[in-house]
Amino acid sequence: MVPAGVIAALRGSHQLGIFFRLDLDPDPLRLWLGINDIPAGIESVDATTQETYLGGGILQDVPMLEAVLNGVADRAEFIVSGIEPATMARWNLDEVKVRGKAFHVGITTLDDYYQPMSAVVPMITGRASRITEAMPPVTGTDSPTVTLALSVGFGITTRDRTSQALWSPVHHKAAHPGDRFCDGTARMERGAPVTWPKF
């Protein structure tokens, strides 16, 4: 539930804080789209509201985020640029660590001191499938930064780890010996009429 103070701030001129949490083990990756580290917490996800969310730079594709929050996108790629290399070095991310992990997006408004006005309101949850890191070349006195791209699926769209399963008669009888409930599934797959048992 969005607090009344946050709703009032959203109706007027406000600073919006967008927070990402990737459920890595043992230390989740917590980033927010800003430049400084701040204490915050996503409601019902983080243990406290005083977890440290690291400044993660700039989200490159805001329309994509709007599609995710409005339930339009089944899969999205979050691309965040401007992350300090030391920040990313803490996790040493790779495909194996990331695949299948829960990914949360939350928002709240920020006050005049760029601090959260409430606990972060969870907006959507997905499953991470792949991650890529890149360090664009720098010139002169520019500081090196990392660009992070994370592909996330929502609902049952993940292709590498399907959320649905087909139970055959063998599977069903292993769990329920003597039960013939799934005996007609092969005939249903072929489109043949199935005579259901009478009890």
The pLDDT of residue 162: 47
Sign of CA dihedral 85, 87, 89, 93: negative
Residue 164 has pLDDT above 60, yes or no: no
The pLDDT of residue 45: 92
pTM passes above 0.75: no
User: How sure is the predictor about 196, in pLDDT bands with cuts at 50, 70 and 90?
Assistant: low
Residue 99 and residue 178 share a domain: no
User: How sure is the predictor about 19, in pLDDT bands with cuts at 50, 70 and 90?
Assistant: very high
- Evaluate whether residue 18 is within a structural domain: yes
Pick 130 or 161 by higher pLDDT.
Answer: 130
- Evaluate whether residue 160 is within a structural domain: no
% of the chain exceeding 70 in pLDDT: 78
- Name the domain count of the chain: 2
Q: What is the mean pLDDT of the chain?
A: 80
Write the DSSP assignment of 141-167 as a string of letters. Answer: TPPP-EEEEEEEE-TT--SSS-S--PP
Q: What is the mean pLDDT of residues 150-170?
A: 64
Residue 60 has pLDDT above 60, yes or no: yes
Residue 23 and residue 47 share a domain: yes
Q: Residue 100 sits in which domain range? A: 4-153
Q: Which residues pair with 21 in a beta bridge?
A: 30, 104
Q: Which residues pair with 18 in a beta bridge?
A: 107
- Evaluate whether residue 98 is within a structural domain: yes
Are 31 and 105 within 8 A, CB to CB? no
- Evaluate whether residue 197 is within a structural domain: yes
Residue 108 has pLDDT above 50, yes or no: yes
Residue 172 and residue 142 share a domain: no
Residue 80 and residue 40 share a domain: yes
User: How sure is the predictor about 15, in pLDDT bands with cuts at 50, 70 and 90?
Assistant: confident
Residue 107 and residue 22 share a domain: yes
Residue 52 and residue 94 share a domain: yes
Residue 72 has pLDDT above 70, yes or no: no
- Evaluate whether residue 62 is within a structural domain: yes
- Evaluate whether residue 158 is within a structural domain: no
The pLDDT of residue 69: 67
